[in-house]
Structure 1
Amino acid sequence: MSGLLRSAVAVGRLSSPRLPANLTQANKASMPFIPQDWVFRFFPGLTRDKVRFMLRFNQVSFSMGLGFFYLWCHTPYKCDQYDHFEESYLYSWVKGNMQKTGEFDENVRIKVRHFYPQTAEE
């Protein structure tokens, strides 16, 4: 059984296209998306203490990620007026088709507009 597995792996290696060496060695030589060698080359004062540089690099990267999430991706009070939201073309088309067939009136009639059961206290 192991002979069959060994031969299948060998055939797979021969038939697959080879990637360039700089791509296969990238995970051993660099960090993704960030040219750290430029920082070490052009800012030797920043990278004199390698441990402190990596600590600051991690802190800055975390802060930038948090800032990106909360300042850009999480826009407060954006599209929270649910009674006056902008209707997309698909929404308008489906709503128009439902109004033509009468399904829209039925959906409005049975729509629940409150969370807790209403009691008759008058």
Structure 2
Amino acid sequence: MAGLLRAALAANARASPRLPASLTQANRASMPFIPQDWVFRFFPGLTRDKVRFMLRFNQVSFSMGLGFFYLWCHTPYKCDQYDHFEESYLFSWVKGNMQKTGEYDENVRIKVRHFYPQTAELEE
């Protein structure tokens, strides 16, 4: 039985065509920020092994997503002092117009600066 299996494998190895070296050596270069359909259209050599390309593309995309979130968007202690934000030109213009008409003082007077209702402290 083992001899028959060995003969079948040997015949199969001789009959099957060899793959080109460019196909057997997968390209390890990644191309971030380029749409996949463009890569398949304009770089056919890079996408010959489609399964490996999709695996690498998913790994690179996941890593870049985590890096973007943790290194850029989740910077600790960044913009945590809300009283020191830069005011935009539109904000400054509207604020100046409101100060000219007196609306700004009224808005500051009625502005709520606390989340929970304040309880009156009992004086003894």
TM-score range relative to shorter protein: 0.5 to 0.7
Question: Aligned partners of 2:49 and 2:18: how far apart in 1?
Answer: 39
Question: Aligned partners of 2:73 and 2:104: how far apart in 1?
Answer: 34
Gaps of 5+ in 1: none
Given that residues 30 and 36 in structure 1 are in contact (C-alpha distance below 8 angstroms), is that contact kept between their aligned partners in structure 2? no
After TM superposition, which residue ranges in structure 1, 4 or more long, deviate above 2 angstroms?
Answer: 1-57, 72-80
* Structure with bigger RCO (C-alpha 8 Å, 6+ apart): 2
Gaps of 5+ in 2: none
Normalising by structure 2, report the TM-score. 0.52
62-71 or 6-15, which deviates more: 6-15
The residue aligned with 1:4 is 4
Question: Aligned partners of 2:103 and 2:3: how far apart in 1?
Answer: 66
Normalising by structure 1, report the TM-score. 0.52
1:98/1:65 CA distance change after superposition, 3 Å: same
Alpha-carbon distance, 1:49 to partner: 7.6
Q: Secondary structure at the match of 2:28?
A: helix
Q: Deviations over 1:42-82 (max 9, x none)?
A: 99999998645533431222111221233234444333211
Given that residues 47 and 53 in structure 2 are in contact (C-alpha distance below 8 angstroms), is that contact kept between their aligned partners in structure 1? yes
Structure with bigger gyration radius: 2
C-alpha RMSD of the superposition? 17.1
The total of aligned residue pairs comes to 122
